[in-house]
Structure 1
Amino acid sequence: MNGLIIFLIILVLLVIGVVGWTIGAYNGLVRLRNRVQESWRQIDVELNRRYELIPNLVETVRGYAAHEHNTLEDITRLRNQAASLAAHEGATPSAQRAEAEEQLSGAVRNLMVSVEAYPDLKSNTNFLELQRALAETEDRIAAGRRYYNANVREYNTKTESFPTNMLAGQFHFEKAAYFEVNDVARTSPDVNFGEISYRGGQGGQQALPQQGSGTPAMPAGWDQGQQAPQTQPQQYDQPGQQQYGQPGQQNPQQEWPQNPQQ
């Protein structure tokens, strides 16, 4: 009898422990999911603000840069596509929405780069105000994206880890999609030094560009009537004596001492 009572007590404690863990794990998943949804709503506000700014930006640029017709059409199309997806989505974004927003961000960046060729547009007060508002919006989107993705990572880790993954599957806690926008690739400019080269073992002398006949070209500003300087290699007849000019001719003003210690 006493053994049965002890067994029942242990069983009741185990049930209470499992129920307590289940409640705690469920509430933890709910809390993480709500945090993900809340952080996404902050981004969504800024995205909708960008939807409102883009039509004004397009009309302003159209009046000064008629050659950017294709770029403006692409921005308008991507803006309408992203706004349509936003109107039919739930509390968190889908991968399709994230891709549309990424393409829209890239199109806006390309437009801002292309308008550098239009000085009149860059001095337009309305355009400058729109540019400033878009820059602030993009900064807030970037900050909100980092916070949102951090919450998504924590939530997805919980839904995929054992044993909470069994609870997540039972109560339909689905994985959240990341909202990522890839930065524009930065490439280094190609540097072409033409025919400039350096001779190895010649003390770093710079070679002159060659003309068609193979004769070294004269430096800029060189008088054609002057004789080009001749460079002759140094020759040595005997150890310790440095020769100049013709072979065998000694410089009387300079001799190396025969005994370095003297």
Structure 2
Amino acid sequence: MIAWIVIGVLVLIVLIIVIFLIGTYNGLVKSRNQVEEAFSTMDVYLKKRYDLIPNLVETVKGYAAHEKATLEKVIQARNTAARAKDAADVIRSNEALGQSLRGIFAIAENYPDLKANANFMELQQQLRQVEEDIANARKYYNGCVKLYNDKTMMFPSNLVAGMFGFRKASMYEVGNTAERENVKVSF
């Protein structure tokens, strides 16, 4: 009789452990999929940005032909960002692209006719909207990464994460100190 009770308790313990492992594993998979979905959403907005940039550069070229180096830098940064494969490359290359885009808008400040051009204004507005969408997608991505990383690092789910190869995901952070500085406006 006692042997059956011991066997019953052991079976119950094994069953609880199996249920815990399955639940934890499924939770980790769900969180990892949310991170991938959030990154894909951000990638869609980045693609929109890549598609807008050549039109913006062509519009600026008509007004500022002697600013060729800045325009080429923007196109090079755009092409590098568009070819990025993994999350770290996408993040790094888009930081560089963001900086080069600021160069175009600095050029525009020197050309009042360009700033008044309807095509330029429309492209600038579209790019501004895409940049807002990218910022929101980054927030969502980072939120998903935080939840996923919490699950992969906190006890006891970190044990399951380690057993099944779940690794910490990278946050989308502003890496360049120039982007963190306040914008200086002078009149």
Q: TM-score under structure 1 normalisation?
A: 0.66
Instruction: Give percent identity, aligned residues only.
Output: 46
Cα distance change on mapping 1:184 and 1:129 into 2, 3 Å: farther
Q: Which runs of 4+ in 1 moved over 3 A?
A: 181-184, 187-190
Q: Unaligned regions of 5+ residues in structure 2, if any?
A: none
Once residues 130 and 162 of structure 1 are traced to their aligned partners in structure 2, the CA distance between those partners, rounded to angstroms, is 49
1:186 lines up with 2:174 in the alignment: no
Deviation at 1:189, TM superposition (A): 7.8
**RMSD of aligned C-alpha atoms?**
1.7
1:158 lines up with 2:157 in the alignment: no
Once residues 51 and 138 of structure 2 are traced to their aligned partners in structure 1, the CA distance between those partners, rounded to angstroms, is 20
1:20 lines up with 2:19 in the alignment: yes
Q: Which amino acid aligns with 2:173?
A: E
Q: Which amino acid aligns with 1:148?
A: Y
Match of 2:69 in 1: 70
Asked if the contact 1:36–1:148 (Cα under 8 Å) also holds between the matched residues in 2, the reply is: yes
Cα distance change on mapping 1:116 and 1:42 into 2, 3 Å: same
Asked if the contact 1:159–1:165 (Cα under 8 Å) also holds between the matched residues in 2, the reply is: yes
Which has the higher mean CA deviation after the structures are superposed, 62-71 or 39-48?
A: 62-71
Once residues 56 and 4 of structure 1 are traced to their aligned partners in structure 2, the CA distance between those partners, rounded to angstroms, is 79
1:170 lines up with 2:170 in the alignment: no
Once residues 185 and 114 of structure 2 are traced to their aligned partners in structure 1, the CA distance between those partners, rounded to angstroms, is 27
Match of 2:38 in 1: 39
Deviation at 1:114, TM superposition (A): 2.7
Q: Which deviations, in whole Å up to 9, do the C-alpha atoms of 1:15-47 show, x marking residues without a partner?
A: 000000001101110111111111111111110
Q: Which amino acid aligns with 2:148?
A: Y
Secondary structure at the aligned position of 1:82 is classed as: helix
Asked if the contact 1:102–1:180 (Cα under 8 Å) also holds between the matched residues in 2, the reply is: no
Q: Unaligned regions of 5+ residues in structure 1, if any?
A: 191-262
Aligned match for 2:138, one of 142, 145, 151: 145
Q: Which deviations, in whole Å up to 9, do the C-alpha atoms of 1:61-88 show, x marking residues without a partner?
A: 1110123222111111111111111xx4
Once residues 114 and 58 of structure 1 are traced to their aligned partners in structure 2, the CA distance between those partners, rounded to angstroms, is 11
Q: Which amino acid aligns with 1:53?
A: L
Cα distance change on mapping 1:122 and 1:188 into 2, 3 Å: closer
Aligned residues: 183
Deviation at 1:184, TM superposition (A): 4.7
Q: TM-score under structure 2 normalisation?
A: 0.91
Asked if the contact 2:31–2:147 (Cα under 8 Å) also holds between the matched residues in 1, the reply is: yes
Secondary structure at the aligned position of 1:170 is classed as: helix
Q: Which deviations, in whole Å up to 9, do the C-alpha atoms of 1:57-115 show, x marking residues without a partner?
A: 11111110123222111111111111111xx44xxx2x222011111112112321331
Asked if the contact 2:174–2:180 (Cα under 8 Å) also holds between the matched residues in 1, the reply is: no
Once residues 78 and 84 of structure 1 are traced to their aligned partners in structure 2, the CA distance between those partners, rounded to angstroms, is 10
Q: Which deviations, in whole Å up to 9, do the C-alpha atoms of 1:171-228 show, x marking residues without a partner?
A: 22222111123635126689xxxxxxxxxxxxxxxxxxxxxxxxxxxxxxxxxxxxxx
Match of 2:47 in 1: 48
